[in-house]
């Protein structure tokens, strides 16, 4: 049914969003995805960092940001300082280096809590999609058997995606707690 397909499409997007958010959390290793949420004030407009600079990882604990326009260097540095990453940028006049320190045990525990919260928010979003799909089905005036069958199918879909979100959260928690 169309309602079921729309629900699955929305659930896939929700899962992708949760996984993407989890990737932006650092686990002691430098990844360019950590900077995906950083926005730079570029000529008065908030601009994603990745559209202003190339990001490379010369080693496991360093990110190097090379702006395409040298005029953006100070704005990028300011955006990194005010971001919630907790990293100090080193500006050498041409590029910015970010050294990623090892996570302390306390910071790891905080990150695990953040990961759990992100997972819960994703699961709530999936359940809201299920609720919306069931409301849409009720408006179709289907025979009771068909409606019940479709509700069961949407519930199976919801369970499948809730499990996928749970698995992604478990993987990220494991990544955070293992050195």
Angstrom distance (rounded) from CA 100 to CA 87: 7
70 C-beta neighbours (distance < 10 Å), count: 11
Does the predicted model carry a pTM greater than 0.85? no
Q: Please tell me whether residues 41 and 93 are part of one structural domain.
A: yes
At 167, which CATH number?
1.10.132.20
Q: Please tell me whether residues 119 and 136 are part of one structural domain.
A: yes
- Is the pLDDT at 26 greater than 70, yes or no? no
Angle between helices 144-177 and 2-23 (to 10 degrees): 10
pLDDT band with cut points at 50, 70 and 90 for residue 132: very high
Q: What is the CA radius of gyration of the chain?
A: 21
Q: Please tell me whether residues 16 and 36 are part of one structural domain.
A: no
pLDDT digits (tens, 9 = 90+) for 88-113: 899 998 999 988 887 788 888 888 99
Q: Please tell me whether residues 132 and 163 are part of one structural domain.
A: yes
> What is the torsional sign of CA 51, 52, 56, 61?
negative
Lookup result for tokens 């010369």: 58
Q: Please tell me whether residues 66 and 109 are part of one structural domain.
A: no
Domains held by the chain: number? 2
Q: Please tell me whether residues 112 and 138 are part of one structural domain.
A: yes
Residue that finishes a domain, picked among 99, 122, 138: 99
H-type helices in 49-102, by residue range?
A: 73-82
Residue that finishes a domain, picked among 78, 99, 120: 99
Q: Please tell me whether residues 169 and 110 are part of one structural domain.
A: yes
At 54, which CATH number?
3.30.1360.40
Strands (E), the chain: 39-42, 45-48, 53-59, 62-67, 89-91, 96-99
Q: Could you list the residue range(s) of the whole structural domain that residue 169 is in? A: 2-23+104-177
pLDDT digits (tens, 9 = 90+) for 76-91: 999 988 887 778 899 9
Q: Please tell me whether residues 13 and 56 are part of one structural domain.
A: no
Angstrom distance (rounded) from CA 55 to CA 85: 15
Q: Please tell me whether residues 114 and 140 are part of one structural domain.
A: yes
Q: Please tell me whether residues 117 and 173 are part of one structural domain.
A: yes
Angstrom distance (rounded) from CA 119 to CA 18: 7
89 C-beta neighbours (distance < 10 Å), count: 19
Closest listed residue to residue 87, CA positions, set 21, 28, 19, 44: 28
Instruction: Name the percent of the chain lying above pLDDT 90.
Output: 48
């Amino acid at each position: 049914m169309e309602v079921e397909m729309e629900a699955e499409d929305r659930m896939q997007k929700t899962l992708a969003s949760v996984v993407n958010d989890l990737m932006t959390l650092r686990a002691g290793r430098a990844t360019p995805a950590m900077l995906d949420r950083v926005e730079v004030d570029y000529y008065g407009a908030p601009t994603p960092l990745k559209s202003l600079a190339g990001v490379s990882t010369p080693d496991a604990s360093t990110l190097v940001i090379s702006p395409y326009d040298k005029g953006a260097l100070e704005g990028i540095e300011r955006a990194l300082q005010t971001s919630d990453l907790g990293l100090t940028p080193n500006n050498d006049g041409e590029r910015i280096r970010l050294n990623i320190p090892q996570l302390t045990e306390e910071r790891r525990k905080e990150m695990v809590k953040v990961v759990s919260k992100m997972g819960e928010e994703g699961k709530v979003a999936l359940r809201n999609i299920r609720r919306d799909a069931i409301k849409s089905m009720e408006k179709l005036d289907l025979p009771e058997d068909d409606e019940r069958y479709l509700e069961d199918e949407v519930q199976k879909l919801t369970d499948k995606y809730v499990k996928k979100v749970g698995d992604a959260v478990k993987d990220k928690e494991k990544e955070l707690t293992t050195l």
